[in-house]
Amino acid sequence: MISTRAIIETDRYRDGSVAPYSLYLEARQPDADALALDMLEPPPDPSSVPIAHDEVMAILAAGIAANEPVELDFEPLSYGEDLVATRPFLPDGEATYRLGESPTVLTERGSRTYLIWLDKPGTVEIAVTGGLIAHYRDRGNVRVELYSPQNELGTAVASNVDTPPDGEEHIITLTTPHDGLHQLIIQDGHDKTRVALPTGMPVSAASGLDDAPSGFMGGRSIAYFYVPKGTRTVGGFTRHLDGHVVAGDGMRLYSFADMGKPGFFSIPVPAGQDGAHWQFESCSGYRHLMTVPPYLAKSPAALLLPREVAEKDLPAQP
- pLDDT tens digit string along 72-97? 889 999 999 999 998 655 544 443 33
Indicate whether this model's pTM tops 0.85.
Answer: no
The conformation of residue 146, written as its DSSP 8-state character, comes to E
pLDDT single digits (tens) 190-234: 999 999 888 888 899 999 888 766 555 555 667 899 999 999 999
> In the prediction, which pLDDT does 210 show?
83
How far is Cα 306 from Cα 293, in angstroms, rounded to an integer?
Answer: 7
pLDDT of the residue at 300: 87
pLDDT in tens, 12-61: 555 555 555 555 555 555 555 555 445 545 556 666 667 888 888 998 88
Instruction: Give which of 252, 168, 256 is closest to 217, Cα–Cα.
Output: 256
Write the DSSP symbol of residue 309.
H
Structure-model confidence comparison of residues 68 and 196, the more confident one: 196
Q: Which pLDDT band holds residue 317 (cuts at 50, 70, 90)?
A: very low
Q: What is the mean pLDDT of residues 273-279?
A: 93
Which is higher by pLDDT, 276 or 218? Answer: 276
Percent helix, strand, coil in the chain, to 5, is 20, 30, 50
| DSSP codes, 54-120 | HHHHHHHHHHHHHS-----SS------S-EEE-GGGSPS-PPP-GGG--TTEEEE-SEEEEEEEESS
Alpha-carbon gap, residue 55 to 57, rounded angstroms? 5
> What is the structure's pLDDT at 109?
84
| Mean pLDDT score, 143-169 | 93
CB distance 179 to 120 below 8 Å: yes
The reported pLDDT for the residue numbered 28 is: 55
Domain ranges of the chain: 13-66, 72-95+204-318, 105-198
125/10: higher pLDDT: 125
- Position 122 scores a pLDDT of 92
Predicted local confidence at residue 51, as pLDDT = 80
Lowest mean pLDDT segment, chosen from 92-96, 264-268, 278-282: 92-96
* Mean pLDDT, residues 140-156 taken together: 93
pLDDT at 92: 47
Collapsed DSSP state (helix, strand, coil) of residue 4: helix
- DSSP code of residue 297: B
pLDDT in the model for residue 22: 57
The more confident residue out of 139 and 220 is 139
Give the closest residue to 285 by CA, choosing from 226, 223, 214, 218. Answer: 218
**Average pLDDT of the residues of the chain:** 81
Confidence bin at 98 (pLDDT 50/70/90):
very low
CATH topology of domain 105-198: Jelly Rolls (2.60.120)
* Cα atoms in the 13 Å half-sphere on the side-chain side of 286: 17
